[in-house]
């Protein structure tokens, strides 16, 4: 039995919005994504607050999220919607 379908595994990475670290404990990743950071997340961003005529910038935190995705693909030498071509 020759394998015709060789699906590719893709990892999609994203980061949540930058917020004050103290508020980031409960931040969830979007549906289908898995959170790979713990606690308050990674302190690698800045968030902005507008106060009247000024915009203030503060250090903040965000979480990293990943999603595993299977990309259907035919093995080498096969093609077509059902990977039957040779």
Count structural domains, the chain. 1
Q: Say what the pTM is.
A: 0.73
**38-82 pLDDT, tens per residue?**
999 999 999 999 999 999 999 999 999 999 989 889 998 888 888
Residue 77 has what pLDDT? 87
Which H or E run contains 55?
strand 54-62
Asked, for residue 3, whether it belongs to a domain, the answer is no
Asked, for residue 43, whether it belongs to a domain, the answer is yes
Domain extent, residue 32, equals: 8-85
Q: Considering only CA atoms, which of 32, 22, 24 is closest in space to residue 65?
A: 32
Asked, for residue 77, whether it belongs to a domain, the answer is yes
Q: What are the C-alpha distances in Å from 86 to residues 4, 40, 72, 80, 82?
A: 10, 52, 17, 9, 11
Supply the Cα-derived Rg of the chain in whole angstroms: 21
**CA–CA dist 28, 13 (Å, integer):** 14
């Amino acid at each position: 039995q020759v394998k015709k379908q060789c699906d590719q595994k893709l990892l999609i990475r994203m980061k949540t919005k930058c917020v004050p670290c103290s508020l980031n404990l409960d931040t969830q990743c979007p549906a289908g994504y898995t959170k790979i950071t713990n606690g308050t997340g990674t302190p690698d961003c800045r968030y902005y607050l507008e106060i009247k005529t000024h915009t203030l910038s503060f250090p903040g935190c965000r979480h990293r999220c990943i999603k595993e995705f299977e990309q259907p693909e035919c093995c080498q030498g096969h093609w077509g919607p059902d990977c039957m071509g040779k």
